[in-house]
């Protein structure tokens, strides 16, 4: 039996709905994965995350390897048992984190040598070690170690990234030791169309269970990102899940859904929530601003989340001004529910053949 099973149910042009079966449950796609970097979605309990409609959560192997350590989590029953999230999970290998901590890291063909951002300890991660760590963590879907580059980037460095990411994918595949975990490959190539094609086709030849588009939303701007994402998704197998990493705003997510992406993750909803910014179909609103001091309405009319059913904008603003953690919890909860509703709406629109109209409505609110 394969670690995961994926099937496409309905299509609307290149967009599709589907079902992803994992050892810890099934997920309807397209789906948005809340980010639980340290094994927790910030400010929210697993039960609260589940109430937003989330079916799968992401954690980060780089951070968990450093603290508390993969062995500790394995000895406590694995990531799901340890964290209290009993549903499907995906772990990122940490390639993007090592890119974002470039001043602490040195990349070579053998792997990445870096200093811990926690205590400065010198560490080394090879593709084999990245997979060993994720095998210990036990998520349903695990990611290869990739060589992520930013924007702008010289062509020679993008070429190096593509070559290295492919070589690391082979090494990750060879080092993968659990048949109940699906290992995804990650397409790199920056904004160079021919390099994206080379990367995608090379990884497809490895016949991996799923594929991700990496190395986007790193400074290239919305228009160029969409161009890269559309061209790359077109190269990936129709019968396997396609994951767009680290994206993003609602309009960007729906653009990628229209291009055929199935899975998304981003810190945008929870990070904005902790800073008092709430997503609505009228656009972003800053709940802690003074115009809401006597506003007796919910964050968003028609939203069925706990925050909107029980609390007013006035009260939530007060929580932020008073430094009460509940304010961060409520807006984070609402934002994740907004993304849950966004995905529910996208699936329904695809089934009804009206994704373009739905996409236009959301795009109007977020400048898409």
Domain segments of the chain as ranges: 5-266, 273-366
Neighbour-count burial for 135-159, b at 16+ CB within 10 Å, e otherwise: bbbbbbbbbbbbbbbebebeeeebb
Residue 103 has which token pair? 């001043």
CA-based radius of gyration for the chain: 20
Fold of the CATH domain 5-266: TIM Barrel (3.20.20)
Question: Which letter does DSSP use for residue 152 in this model?
Answer: S
Residues near 223 by Cβ (< 8 Å), separated by ≥ 6? none
Other CB atoms within a 10 A radius of the CB of residue 174 amount to 11
How confident is the model at residue 121, as a pLDDT? 87
Q: What element of type H or E holds 253?
A: helix 250-259
Residue 187 has which token pair? 């397409």
At 273, is the secondary structure helix, strand, or coil?
Answer: helix
105 contacts 112 by C-beta, under 8 angstroms: yes
How confident is the model at residue 118, as a pLDDT? 85
141-158 pLDDT, tens digit per residue, is: 999 999 999 999 999 999
At 244, is the secondary structure helix, strand, or coil?
Answer: strand
How confident is the model at residue 275, as a pLDDT? 98
Which candidate in 92, 140, 252, 262 is catalytic? 92
Is 265 noted as a catalytic residue in this protein? yes
Residue with the two structure tokens 């009804």 = 352
Q: Which residues of the chain have pLDDT under 50?
A: none
Neighbour-count burial for 29-66, b at 16+ CB within 10 Å, e otherwise: bbbbbbbbbebbbbbbebebbbbbbbbbbbbbbbbbbb
Residue 312, burial from CB neighbour count under 10 angstroms (0-12, 13-18, 19+) = middle
Spell out where the chain has E strands: 5-12, 15-22, 25-29, 31-33, 57-60, 89-92, 105-108, 111-115, 122-125, 141-143, 182-187, 210-213, 242-244, 263-265, 277-280, 283-286
Is 352 noted as a catalytic residue in this protein? no
Which candidate in 140, 255, 262, 265 is catalytic? 265
How confident is the model at residue 96, as a pLDDT? 75
How confident is the model at residue 102, as a pLDDT? 61
Cα 288 to Cα 78, 114, 285, 319: the distances in Å are 39, 39, 9, 8
Distance between terminal CA atoms of the chain?
A: 41
């Amino acid at each position: 039996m394969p670690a995961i099973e994926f099937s496409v149910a309905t299509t609307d042009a290149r967009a599709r709905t589907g079902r992803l079966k994992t050892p810890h449950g099934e997920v309807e796609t397209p789906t948005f994965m809340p980010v639980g970097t340290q094994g927790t979605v910030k400010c929210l309990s697993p039960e609260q995350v589940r109430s937003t409609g989330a079916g799968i959560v992401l954690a980060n192997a780089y951070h968990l390897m450093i603290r508390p350590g993969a062995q500790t989590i394995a000895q406590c029953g694995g990531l799901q048992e340890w964290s209290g999230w009993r549903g499907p999970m995906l772990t990122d290998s940490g390639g993007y984190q090592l890119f974002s901590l470039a001043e602490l890291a040195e990349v070579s063909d053998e792997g990445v040598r870096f200093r811990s951002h926690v205590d400065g300890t010198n560490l080394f991660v090879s593709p084999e070690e990245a997979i060993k760590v994720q095998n210990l963590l036990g998520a349903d879907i695990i990611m290869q170690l990739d060589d992520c580059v930013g924007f702008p980037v010289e062509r020679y460095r993008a070429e190096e990234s593509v070559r290295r990411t492919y070589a690391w994918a082979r090494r990750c595949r060879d080092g993968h030791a659990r048949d109940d975990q699906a290992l995804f490959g990650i397409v790199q190539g920056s904004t160079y169309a021919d390099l994206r094609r080379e990367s995608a086709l090379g990884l497809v030849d490895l016949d991996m269970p799923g594929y991700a588009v990496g190395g986007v939303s790193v400074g290239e701007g919305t228009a160029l990102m969409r161009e890269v994402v559309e061209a790359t998704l077109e190269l990936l197998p129709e019968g396997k899940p396609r994951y767009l990493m680290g994206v993003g705003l609602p309009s960007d997510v729906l653009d990628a859904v229209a291009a055929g992406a199935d899975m998304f993750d981003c810190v945008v909803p929870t990070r904005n929530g902790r800073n008092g910014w709430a997503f609505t179909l009228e656009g972003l609103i800053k709940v802690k601003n003074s115009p809401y001091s006597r506003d007796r309405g919910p964050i968003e009319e028609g939203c069925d989340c706990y925050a909107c059913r029980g609390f007013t904008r006035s009260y939530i603003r007060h929580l932020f001004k008073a430094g009460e953690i509940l304010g961060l919890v409520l807006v984070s909860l609402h934002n994740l529910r907004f993304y849950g509703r966004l995905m529910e709406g996208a699936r329904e629109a695809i089934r009804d053949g009206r994704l373009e109209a739905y996409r236009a409505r959301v795009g109007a609110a977020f400048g898409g």
